[in-house]
Amino acid sequence: MSEQPPVALRGLTKQYGRITAVDDVSLTVNEGDVFGYLGPNGAGKTTSLRMMLGLITPTSGDARVFGHDPQKSVDALADVAGFVEAPRFYPYLDGMTNLRLVDALDGNDAKSRIAEALDVVELSDRAGDKVGGYSHGMRQRLGIAAALIRRPKLLLLDEPATGLDPGGMRDMRALIARLSAEGMTVMLSSHLLAEVEELCNRVAIVRRGRIVYEGELDELRAAAGLTIRLRTSDDEVALRVLADRRGISDVVRHGAAPIQFRAADEAAIGELSRALADSGALILELAPSAATLEDLFFELTEGEGDAEAEAKRLDEVADLTGGPE
Amino acid sequence: MSRPGTLTVYRWELRKLRAQKRTYLGLGAAVLVPVAFAIAVAIQPGGPTEVPFGSYVDDTGLVFPLVTLLFGSIWFYPLIAALVSGDIVANEDNNGTLKTILTRSVERSQVFFGKVLAAFSYSIFAILLSGTVATVAGILVSGFNPVPTLSGTIVTPEHGLALVAASLGVYLLPVLAISSFALLLSTVFRNSAAAVVGTLMFSLLLQLVVIIPGLDGLQPYLLSTQFNSWQGLLRTPADWEPIIRAAWVSAAYAIPSLVIALTVFLRRDVAGG
Ligand SMILES: Nc1ncnc2c1ncn2[C@@H]1O[C@H](COP(=O)(O)OP(=O)(O)OP(=O)(O)O)[C@@H](O)[C@H]1O
Ligand SMILES: [Mg+2]
């Protein structure tokens, strides 16, 4: 069954009354991916992960992990571990006993493995304390430990860095990177583009239950990143030069703010700089606009228009810039 | 790596029960009530004459557990059973831990049956503990003496002790039915206070049904009636009819409760927490 992708969602939909929490989501996570499931509050990230873990039943469509349906039997989750929202444990048992409990429910009794996992999440010295007295971040760490003792091939994490201190976030990222390097497939949800950018090779951006973008992160970066900012000694002239130029598009200028445009490639920018100099509009600033990926993300997830139109716009951008392939 | 199952869940449910205060609240009450009764009799001889065996408390300690069972059946033992059985599923909702255990390698049905076994074990343990404490305390106060039966005969202390043990066993039938009902409410309400109170209300309301004119014919089939069925053992010869009825009537309450609870548990969405 190893040819089956770790995650395959097909037309996955979950309806809560009038609210469509997850709306016809289809995506595939391939072996070795660190897949970012990115979206704002209420986008449906947790709901999707719950369906992948067999905790809730889809209204329609299905979620498969390694080709198996977790709705049918927990056997489907044999190679899967993870958690949704904040990991929860029995507050009246200590951390170690909680881990021994979940390990027993896996059919194991591996004290050394538990000790090792506690070590990885740096909880060893608090393992004897009741979980009721743990801080939020400590529970988060315990959740990671509980997932690791299962030795999964696929790790599903719902906003894993939530509640961690900066050092904890750094450790969490390092851990995910290490697990990925060791061959684990990871799917994590996040609000934070920066987090996903740092960790993930592929990303799906969701908005109100719908996927508005899915693909390589590099592609998205390419689609967003070639917006150029331009200031010249004479912007009126510069605008005339920019107009109808090959490889230049989406020229905008808001009042006194720098001109912005998208360039198909670097050659087009080189050509442009010569043309500008010839025209007498001297370049004061010509630079890739920072934070455009962030802008694109907000545009995709917050725009007023419907998600499909946004996605189409993104496709056009991607076509224009050529993408990395 | 062995395959985990219902027994794995059962073992860990017992371990969880041992770590929770509510368990000791129930067991503590199960011990304290017969002890308090024994102390009261020791201080002021003369028992409650309005119940069977009540007037013999000064003659033999072996009637102490029987009197405790009679008084406990209205709400005390149902409450003790409900305290844990009504919490055993709702507790997971309260702690948000269903997602933690349902994403491991045990099926939902195994989790459910493990919980049923644990809840039953607790109820059985609480009743037997209470009965044992009542017997010991009674013997200390009034001695290990021959026991009068409901038919007016007298049996030896040894025979009387065996009858007490058998009575406790028969008493467990309706107790387990109450446990099952509490489990149902625990599963459906997802809130342990609501499940415990609901079970108690159910148990009390059943006893009121017979007040309604025309419904008194239902009496033999009410769960509350089954709490008295053990008295059939204390006749000579033993009257098995109420005991057999207790078995099937209790099952008629317990099995549908468990079937509905299981169905709900298997189909429910585990969201929240
Ligand atoms: N059990 C439920 N009952 C009713 N509505 C629900 C339920 N669970 C989720 N929803 C709704 O589904 C939508 C998606 O919720 P979900 O928790 O999946 O979002 P999310 O992307 O995880 O958000 P966040 O970033 O805030 O965690 C929301 O509108 C939410 O109100
Ligand atoms: Mg969420």
Interface confidence (ipTM) of the complex: 0.93
Q: What is the DSSP letter of A94?
A: B
| Residue A270 or A81, more confident | A81
Express each pLDDT in B162-183 by its tens digit.
Answer: 999 999 999 999 999 999 999 9
- Which range has the worst mean pLDDT, A267-276, B34-43, B222-231? A267-276
pLDDT, mean of residues A224-247: 84
pLDDT at A107 over 90: yes
Express each pLDDT in B188-199 by its tens digit.
Answer: 999 999 999 999
pLDDT at A223 over 70: no
| Tokens describing residue A87 | 């990991």
Measured distance CA(A200)–CA(B44) in Å, rounded: 79
Express each pLDDT in A10-27 by its tens digit.
Answer: 999 999 999 999 999 999
From the CA of A300, how many Å to the nearest CA of chain B? 27
pLDDT at A303 over 80: no
Which protein residues are within 6 Å of ligand 1, measured from CB?
A: A 16, 19, 21, 39, 41-47, 191; B 271-272
Q: Are A64 and A8 in contact (CB under 8 A)?
A: yes
pLDDT, mean of residues A71-82: 95
Q: Pick from A230, A225, A232: which is nearest to A290 by CA?
A: A225
Nearest CB among B19, B99, B102 relative to A93 is that of B19
Map out the domains of chain A with their CATH numbers.
7-220 (3.40.50.300), 225-325 (3.30.70)
Residues 6+ apart with CB under 8 A from B157: B60, B62, B144, B145, B146, B147
Q: What is the DSSP letter of A227?
A: E
pLDDT, mean of residues B112-118: 98
- Name the residue ranges covered by the structural domains of chain B: 6-267
Q: Pick from B214, B228, B217, B225: which is nearest to B252 by CA?
A: B225
From the CA of A141, how many Å to the nearest CA of chain B? 14
Q: How confident is the model at residue A291 (pLDDT cuts 50, 70, 90)?
A: low
Q: How confident is the model at residue A313 (pLDDT cuts 50, 70, 90)?
A: low
Measured distance CA(B64)–CA(B47) in Å, rounded: 10
- Kindly give the residue spans of alpha helices, DSSP state H, lying in A202-265: 217-225, 235-242
In this prediction, residue A324 carries a pLDDT of 38
Give the residue on B whose Cα is nearest the Cα of A78: B105
Sign of the CA dihedral with B102 first, then B104, B110, and B113 last: negative
Cβ contact (<8 Å) for A55 and B15? no
Express each pLDDT in A28-72 by its tens digit.
Answer: 999 999 999 999 999 999 999 999 999 999 999 999 999 999 999
Q: Does A132 touch chain B (CB under 8 A)?
A: no
In this prediction, residue B248 carries a pLDDT of 97
pLDDT at B208 over 70: yes
In this prediction, residue A323 carries a pLDDT of 39
Nearest CB among A56, A91, A106 relative to B270 is that of A56
Percent of all residues in chain B with a pLDDT value above 90, rounded to a whole number: 86
Q: How confident is the model at residue A322 (pLDDT cuts 50, 70, 90)?
A: very low
pLDDT at B73 over 60: yes
Interface of A with B in 89-118 (CB under 8 A): 89-93, 97, 101-102, 104-108
In this prediction, residue B146 carries a pLDDT of 96
| Residue A192 or B253, more confident | B253
pLDDT, mean of residues B97-107: 97
In this prediction, residue A245 carries a pLDDT of 86
Per-residue H/E/C for B142-190: HCCCCEECCCCCEECHHHHHHHHHHHHHHHHHHHHHHHHHHHHHHHHHC
In this prediction, residue A188 carries a pLDDT of 96
pLDDT at A316 over 70: no
In this prediction, residue A321 carries a pLDDT of 44
Measured distance CA(A190)–CA(A161) in Å, rounded: 8
Amino acid at B237: P
| Tokens describing residue A230 | 């331009």
Q: Are A118 and A97 in contact (CB under 8 A)?
A: no
- Going by alpha carbons, the residue nearest to atom 17 of ligand 1 is A46
Helix (H, G, I), strand (E, B) or coil at B203: helix
pLDDT at A215 over 80: yes
Measured distance CA(B243)–CA(B234) in Å, rounded: 11
Q: How confident is the model at residue A320 (pLDDT cuts 50, 70, 90)?
A: very low
Q: Are A49 and A189 in contact (CB under 8 A)?
A: yes
Q: Are A120 and A145 in contact (CB under 8 A)?
A: yes
Q: How confident is the model at residue A7 (pLDDT cuts 50, 70, 90)?
A: very high
**Which chain B residues are closer than 8 Å to A87 by Cβ?**
100
Nearest CB among B3, B11, B16 relative to A90 is that of B16
pLDDT, mean of residues B117-132: 98
Q: Does B12 touch chain A (CB under 8 A)?
A: yes
Instruction: State the CB neighbour count (10 A cutoff) for residue B99.
Output: 22
Per-residue H/E/C for B221-263: HCHHHHCCHHHHHHCCCCCCHHHHHHHHHHHHHHHHHHHHHHH
CA B273, A159, A20: angle at the middle one, nearest 5? 65
Amino acid at A145: A
- Residue A23 Cα distances to A43, A59, A61, angstroms: 10, 10, 10
| Residue A304 or A126, more confident | A126
Using DSSP bridges, classify how beta strands A259-263 and A248-252 pair: parallel, antiparallel or unpaired: antiparallel
Q: Are A131 and B35 in contact (CB under 8 A)?
A: no
Cβ contact (<8 Å) for A105 and B8? yes
Q: What is the DSSP letter of A272?
A: H
pLDDT at B62 over 80: yes
- How many angstroms does the Cα of residue A47 sit away from the middle of ligand 1? 6
